[in-house]
Structures are given as structure tokens and as C-alpha cells.
């Protein structure tokens, strides 16, 4: 049966952009400001994918070997101050730009649906020149409920006036898959990303991409 997708929704971190290097730099600089030990790249990378609060808390606990009992808002302010200055340096994964350009050229409605805060999301999208591709961008601080709740997917779909069966979600995490499943739309996963603490093998996935470029075949 031929696919009739008219809209594709994309996660940001670990799906379109490799944001790990900048997130890790910001975390280690935050730890340094708080007089904590900095952590290896691989350790922090394991904590990426479940939101900034999770990333900060797990990093502090790992650095201090104890539960995070300092003023969390102080740590978050330090992180945001540092990350805001470097977030735009994140690079897209291979084939992302050319695939988005192809999809847009084929009259596909495109949206970015991310739990990432808006100030960081828009920095990355705008400074990479990707804003021209998206009909709609919704961020974590603009949602009543964040992924894995289906709220954001349902909201964007209604804004674009697209049916469930005409919509595809592309992501890398449990949050993306569960949100798509609960919203009743098909889900495609990328083979990279940041889902290290929790396996996605037991979840329902409609398409497993080998490269981002495989999206071209799915819509034709």
C-alpha cells in the first residue's frame, strides 16, 4: 500500500542535530562553576535524551557521588547561561539538510516537535538556516504536556490540518515513540541518537531508518 504522508514531525536532539558536544561542554563548565569534578564525555552522554533537568541532576549526582541536594535552580541557571552561548554550534547529522530540502520541495509539511526549551531550539534552528524548512516549531516550554504525552503531536497536526494517517513522526527515543503511538501516528527511528539508559527494542516502530536519507523512500 502506498504511503500518503503529507506531514513529517521531527525531534531535534539526537534526530536532526548532534547536540551532545555542546551539552556536554555546558555540563562540565557548570560543574566547574559549582566546584564539582568534571565528568568524562561518555558519562554525560548517557544522561542526554530525557530533558535538561534529568541531564543536570544525573550529572551532579555522578560528579558528587550523592543525591543532588544543592539549589537546583542555581545549577540550572549556570547551565542555561553557558549553553545559550554555544548551543548554535551544534551540527546536523549526515543527510539531514538535503533530505529536508527534498521533502520541502515535494510539498511536505514539516514540523519540529522537541522537549528542548525554546531559547535553545530557536538558536540552533535559526543559526543553522533550517528555519526555512519548518511550517511549525513547538518546544518543551510551550507545551502543556511534553513527550511522551501525545499533546504536542496532536496540537501540531491540528494546526497543520493533517489527518493521523497522513502524519509521520521521526525520532530517536522512547519519548518520541510513545508519543507517536499514543497519538495514533506512524513512527520512524534513526539509528543514532541518545537513548542509552532505556532500550527501545520492545516498542512499536513502523520504520527503522538506516540513514536520514531513507525518508525519501518512505514517502514515495
Write out the catalytic residue numbers.
Answer: 11
Torsions phi, psi of 21, nearest 5? -55, -40
If we measure between CA atoms, which residue out of 125, 118, 185, 122 comes closest to residue 157? 185
Beta-sheet pairing, 91-92 with 136-138: unpaired
The grid coordinates of residue 116 equal 528542548
| Neighbouring residues of 145: CB distance < 8 A, sequence distance ≥ 6 | 151, 152
| Dist. CA 63–CA 65, nearest whole Å | 6
Torsions phi, psi of 17, nearest 5? -125, 140
If we measure between CA atoms, which residue out of 92, 94, 57 comes closest to residue 75? 57
Burial of 14 (0-12, 13-18, 19+ CB in 10 A): buried
If we measure between CA atoms, which residue out of 11, 16, 79, 22 comes closest to residue 50? 11
Is the sign of the CA dihedral 188, 203, 181, 206 positive or negative? positive
Amino acid at each position: 500500500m502506498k504511503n500518503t504522508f503529507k506531514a513529517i514531525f521531527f525531534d531535534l536532539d539526537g534526530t536532526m542535530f548532534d547536540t551532545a558536544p555542546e551539552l556536554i561542554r555546558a555540563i562540565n563548565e557548570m560543574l566547574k562553576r559549582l566546584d564539582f569534578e568534571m565528568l568524562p564525555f561518555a558519562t554525560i552522554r548517557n544522561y542526554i535524551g530525557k530533558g535538561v533537568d534529568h541531564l543536570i541532576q544525573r550529572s551532579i549526582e555522578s560528579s558528587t557521588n550523592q543525591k543532588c541536594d544543592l539549589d537546583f535552580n542555581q545549577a540550572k541557571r549556570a547551565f542555561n547561561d553557558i549553553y545559550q552561548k554555544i548551543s548554535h554550534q551544534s551540527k546536523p547529522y549526515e543527510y539531514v539538510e538535503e533530505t529536508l530540502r527534498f521533502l520541502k520541495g515535494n510539498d511536505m509539511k514539516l514540523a519540529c516537535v522537541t522537549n528542548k526549551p525554546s531559547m535553545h531550539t530557536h538558536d540552533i534552528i535559526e543559526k543553522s538556516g533550517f528555519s526555512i524548512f519548518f511550517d511549525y516549531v513547538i518546544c518543551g516550554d510551550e507545551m502543556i504536556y511534553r513527550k511522551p504525552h501525545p499533546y504536542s503531536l496532536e496540537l501540531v497536526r491540528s494546526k497543520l490540518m493533517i489527518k493521523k494517517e497522513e502524519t509521520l513522526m521521526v525520532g530517536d527515543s522512547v519519548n518520541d515513540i510513545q508519543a507517536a503511538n499514543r497519538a495514533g501516528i506512524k513512527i520512524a527511528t534513526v539509528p543514532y541518537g541518545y537513548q542509552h539508559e532505556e532500550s527501545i527494542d520492545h516498542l512499536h516502530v513502523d520504520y527503522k531508518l538506516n540513514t536520514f536519507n531513507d525518508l525519501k523512500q518512505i514517502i514515495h
